[in-house]
Amino acid sequence: MNQLLLKLEDHFEEMVIIRRYLHEHPEVSHEEVHTPAYIANFHRELGLEVREYVGGRGVVATLRGTKPGKTVALRADFDALAIQELNDVPYKSKNDGVMHACGHDGHTATLLVLAKVLVGMQDQLSGNIVFIHQHAEELAPGGALAMIEDGCLDGVDVIFGTHLWAPTPLGEVLVKDGAIMAAADRFEIVIQGKGGHGAEPQHSVDAIVVGAHFVTQVQTIISRRIAPLQSGVVTIGQFEAINPFNVIADTVKIQGTVRALDEQVRRQIKEEIELLLKATCLGMHATYSYEYFDGYPPVVNHEEQTKFIAKVAEQTSGVEKVTECPPFMIGEDYGYYMQHIPGTFFFTGAKDPQWETVYPHHHAKFNFDERAMLIAAKVLGQAALDFLEND
């Protein structure tokens, strides 16, 4: 086993301590204060160049090798979610209503300890390693785009990132060339009818009935307007009409999300929703307003970098299996980085083999096998070293 992997194993306990500390002190997107300060101070004590408040609340630390070469970036996010934690663990969240329910505490601990180990190998580095700690991944507009605009990728040649993934067994790494995660958009609709007495529908335009017709028909966009070999999701997550039981509603508010792996499909779904909404309202004598909010783009991995990370993972201790996975319809703003430079994003299995129940990401009882952090650090660290050495 090489020097990097041995040193990471020696520092695994520290990785766990950091992760649990961050887990106890979560902060939601765009409101992170303590977490970025902790990250910046950690890197500063290592002697790295540190930039704070990048794109708002992001932190960028740079490790410069003693020899010239290219620059590789490694990214981790650090925001939490507005969820009340229900886990009974010693490191349970101390912030009421806020929880690290997606593993970002683990991502951060992984990158911090990896930086510490790599600093000890600085004299062997030909080139630079940039550690990108991103805020606000969970809430659009997210932190990636703002950090890019603020220069976090300046001079960077390639970027690698991973997500600890609780549904996948520990020891398995998931890779995928091309689109691995979907675009994630949001829309808001208001249907305006004409309210009235529940006993006299002939004098009214029932906004609930209009909305119900729309909700029922909107799934035909996926089943009948999108090509069968393409992928798309339209989900209605909110349907609201606050009304007495015997009154015909004049207004309905509808909110939903659109997911797509292809930009053309994404745009088609957006247009088809309004066409269907317009036709439904016209035929039922209602009016509407429609707002569509572009979220994160698809995460589209680059072929060369994906093959590279798969090869690194296959040769990494602790990795038992490297699998080419199907794309996920969840969203991630990591896709913005790869619109600017080559890179790849992969999943590191984090399911404890002893668990009978695995709670999904964003669940109040979410947790992950902390040994996955060590595997993630090994793959990311070795990828960085191999890229710089082989360039």
**Biggest CA pair distance of the chain:** 83
User: CA 308, CA 173: separation in Å to the nearest integer?
Assistant: 13
Give Cα 177 distance to the centre of its chain: 18
Q: What is the C-alpha separation between 278 and 125, in angstroms, rounded?
A: 60
Nearest to residue 56, comparing CAs of 163, 139, 155?
A: 139
Active-site hit among 32, 79, 172, 370: 79
Residue with tokens 């960028």: 60
Query: Catalytic annotation on 13?
Result: no
The string over 234-272, giving b where at least 16 C-beta atoms fall within 10 Å of a residue's C-beta and e elsewhere, is bebeebebebeeeebbbbbbbebbbbbbbeebbebbbeb
Asked about 303 being catalytic, the answer comes back as no
Q: How far apart are the first and last CA of the chain?
A: 22
Tell me which of 137, 172, 332, 370 is the catalytic residue: 137
Return the active site residues: 79, 137
